[in-house]
């Protein structure tokens, strides 16, 4: 039986194939191989391609199929930039793998990964400048605003690892930049290509910011509560390395006395793996897990409500379905 949901999924899958084909068609030189081979390796790494899909669907929602076609270079720009951030994040986090493959700095070395990331960032601006039918300067300014906010978020995240007094409010501000900025820009850039006015762009910004917060808090939750092999990472990995997440920071805010001291150990080098089940149980008793789930629902609802204001049609429907899938992942 064909339903609106199945039609939306089919549309999303078709657009994802278009994005993959677009990335494969990017014209890159063969030499020097030491630079371009890692770049090709990154772009062939797969992924859900959510961010370029947001661009294309937002463009179509406001400007129809013609706008979606014009938005393809912008969609590729957003995805190429996203991959740049992953390459540099892996260096900063000393992450050995990305999407089941060795990270670029592991397969090659750190200088090569830095150069590959730099080239990807430059390529993203070049792709953005290829968009027709819209003032390029407007797109570039919006894109660069996103770059600034994302880098600010990354800097705050790194600084938090040296602090023992990070608040949940500070954390939410950080993820609004580090995670939300790119989703927000992807939607608004798509809207700009599609001819969205100020109200439409404001709704897209709200949706991206809210969905980014929901996505990151859900990611924090899944790190501790995901079940089954589909998560693909060790459960409790954030606590093992002492990462400041919504769960840990909120636990430190609500726990008292010895209970707080128990969690505070994570700030000094992380918790041992054997303590992860107890950490989950303690957070559950404190109500932190329930609070995190409520925060995911609240931010998700805010984002989806903003998308309800878009012009009705298949693209808006597919966009809402994509947004729901972004935060309703493995439980």
DSSP character at residue 268 = T
HEC sequence for 27-59: CCCCCCHHHHHHHHHHHCCCCCCHHHHHHHHHH
The whole-chain average pLDDT of the chain stands at: 92
The residues, ordered by sequence, that sit 6+ positions from 135 with a Cβ below 8 Å of its Cβ are none
* pLDDT over 50 (residue 287): yes
- Number of other CB atoms surrounding residue 27 within 10 Å: 4
In b/e form, how buried is each residue of 174-200, taking b as 16+ CB within 10 angstroms? bbbbbbbbbbbbbbbbbbbbbebeeeb
pLDDT digits (tens, 9 = 90+) for 180-234: 999 999 999 999 999 999 999 999 999 999 999 999 999 999 999 987 555 556 7
Q: Count how many Cα atoms sit within 13 Å of the Cα of residue 222 in the half-sphere of its side chain.
A: 18
pLDDT > 60? residue 258: yes
pLDDT recorded at residue 100: 83
Q: Are 247 and 224 in contact (CB under 8 A)?
A: yes
- Please state the rounded mean pLDDT for residues 138-148: 96
Q: Tell me, what's the pLDDT at 111?
A: 96
Say yes or no to pLDDT of 330 above 70.
no
- Nearest alpha carbon to residue 179 among 217, 144, 206: 217
Prediction pTM value: 0.91
Q: Residue 243 is encoded by which pair of tokens?
A: 């990462």
pLDDT band (50, 70, 90) for residue 329: low
For the chain, the distance separating the N- and C-terminal CA atoms, rounded to the nearest angstrom, is 27
Q: And the tokens for 245?
A: 């997440």
Which pLDDT tens digit goes with each residue over 19-55? 999 999 999 999 999 999 999 999 998 888 999 999 9
- pLDDT tens digits, one per residue of 100-121: 899 999 999 999 999 999 999 9
User: Could you check whether the bond before residue 32 is cis, i.e. omega within 30 degrees of 0?
Assistant: yes
């Amino acid at each position: 039986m064909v339903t609106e949901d199945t039609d939306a999924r089919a549309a999303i899958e078709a657009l994802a194939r278009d994005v993959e084909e677009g990335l494969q068609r990017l014209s890159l030189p063969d030499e020097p191989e030491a630079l371009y081979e890692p770049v090709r390796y990154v772009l062939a790494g797969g992924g859900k391609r959510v961010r370029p899909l947001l661009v294309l669907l937002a463009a179509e929602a406001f400007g129809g199929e013609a706008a979606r076609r014009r938005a393809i270079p912008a969609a590729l720009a957003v995805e190429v930039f996203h991959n740049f951030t992953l390459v540099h994040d892996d260096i900063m986090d000393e992450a050995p793998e990305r999407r089941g493959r060795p990270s670029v700095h592991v397969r090659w070395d750190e200088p090569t990964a830095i150069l590959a990331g730099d080239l990807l960032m430059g390529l993203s601006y070049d792709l953005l400048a290829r968009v027709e039918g819209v003032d390029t300067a407007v797109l570039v300014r919006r894109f660069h605003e996103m770059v600034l906010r994302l880098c600010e978020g990354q800097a705050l995240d790194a600084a938090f690892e040296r602090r023992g007094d990070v608040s949940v409010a500070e954390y939410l501000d950080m993820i609004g930049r580090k995670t939300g900025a790119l989703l927000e820009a992807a939607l608004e850039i798509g809207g700009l290509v599609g001819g969205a006015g100020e109200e439409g762009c404001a709704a897209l910004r709200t949706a991206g910011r809210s969905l980014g917060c929901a996505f990151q808090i859900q990611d924090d939750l899944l790190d501790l509560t995901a079940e089954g092999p589909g998560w693909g990472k060790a459960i409790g990995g954030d606590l093992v390395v002492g990462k400041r997440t919504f769960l840990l920071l909120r636990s430190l805010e609500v726990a008292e006395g010895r209970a707080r001291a128990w969690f505070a150990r994570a700030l000094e080098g992380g918790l041992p793996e054997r303590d992860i089940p107890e950490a989950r149980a303690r957070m559950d008793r404190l109500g932190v897990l329930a609070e995190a789930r409520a925060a995911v629902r609240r931010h998700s609802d805010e984002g989806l409500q903003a998308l309800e204001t878009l012009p009705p049609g298949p693209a808006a429907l597919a966009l809402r379905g994509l947004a729901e899938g972004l935060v309703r992942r493995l439980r």
